[in-house]
Amino acid sequence: MSNLIVSTEQLTFHYSNASDLEFPDIHIKKGQHTLLLGDSGTGKTTLLHLLGGLSIPETGHVKINNQDLSMLSNSQLDHFRSQYIGFIFQEAHLLKNLTLLENIKLAQSLAGKKVDVSAIDDVLKQLQLDQKIHAYPNELSRGQLQRAAIARSIINKPALLIADEPTASLDDDNTNRVLDLLLHIADTAGSTLLITTHDKRIKDRFSNIYRLK
């Protein structure tokens, strides 16, 4: 079982004034790109937060790269997350007063890694953003912001790359384009891609699918 990137067991989460959410046990091997499929209200984002250590489960355990997240202190968890987990949220969440280059340099620094401008340049070239390296977030289009978020999430070659609803507002052509890009970027970095979505159009691209009800 040592090649599992994600392993969960008996996960539940409690919201006050609501019934507990129960999640299926999840087992994802290295390189086994996976889809978490579910309609709105099934707890996709909650599960994503549990897998990323952003929320604490009511019961159960999450292991990422064989590390039980419940065994880490808050500061250890922050460091672990910056090293091993990359997030692509629906909003880019880039720091507005930093250039694209500075935003990605910060991601390297927070993970305790040496700042490597040539690595940043390589990733931005793959994403066709190298001409925007000194641009600020408000100078980027929505599509460029999405690719910038991908660049920041992948720069440290995380074991797990989590994308939340990356195709939610896209037409069919752009949905396929973004999927191709995410799969290619994940393979290039040696990362395992996990997408949470309600978008049933993309299920045929994945052999490992968990359905939330």
Question: What pLDDT digit, counting tens, does each position of 6-21 carry?
Answer: 999 999 999 888 778 9
Q: State which amino acid sits at residue 26.
A: I
* 111-139: pLDDT as tens digits: 889 999 999 999 999 888 999 999 999 99
Q: What pLDDT is recorded for position 131?
A: 95
The model's pTM = 0.89
Q: What pLDDT is recorded for position 151?
A: 92
CA 12 to CA 22: how far, in whole Å?
4
CA 92 to CA 88: how far, in whole Å?
7
- Tokens 């052509």 map to which residue? 173
pLDDT at residue 158 above 80? yes
Identify whether the C-beta of residue 130 lies closer than 8 Å to the C-beta of residue 124. yes
Sort 154 into a burial class: Cβ within 10 Å, 0-12 / 13-18 / 19+: buried
pLDDT at residue 153 above 70? yes
pLDDT category at 55 given cuts 50, 70, 90 is very high
Residues of the chain above pLDDT 70, percent: 99
pLDDT at residue 176 above 80? yes
pLDDT category at 1 given cuts 50, 70, 90 is very low
Q: What pLDDT is recorded for position 200?
A: 87
* 64-75: pLDDT as tens digits: 999 999 999 999
Closest CA to 154 of 130, 126, 128: 126
CA 89 to CA 92: how far, in whole Å?
6
Q: What is the CATH number of the domain that holds 59?
A: 3.40.50.300
Number of structural domains, the chain?
1
Alpha helix (H) residue ranges in 37-167 = 44-51, 74-84, 100-110, 117-126, 142-154
pLDDT category at 45 given cuts 50, 70, 90 is confident
The H or E element spanning position 34 is strand 34-37
CA 194 to CA 179: how far, in whole Å?
12
Question: Could you list the residue range(s) of the whole structural domain that residue 134 is in?
Answer: 4-211
- Tokens 């490597």 map to which residue? 116
Closest CA to 171 of 126, 193, 201, 197: 201
Mean pLDDT across 16-44: 90
- Tokens 């292991």 map to which residue? 63
Angle at 141 between CA 162 and CA 199, to 5 degrees: 40
Identify whether the C-beta of residue 163 lies closer than 8 Å to the C-beta of residue 1. no
Q: What pLDDT is recorded for position 2?
A: 62
- Tokens 């994940």 map to which residue? 186
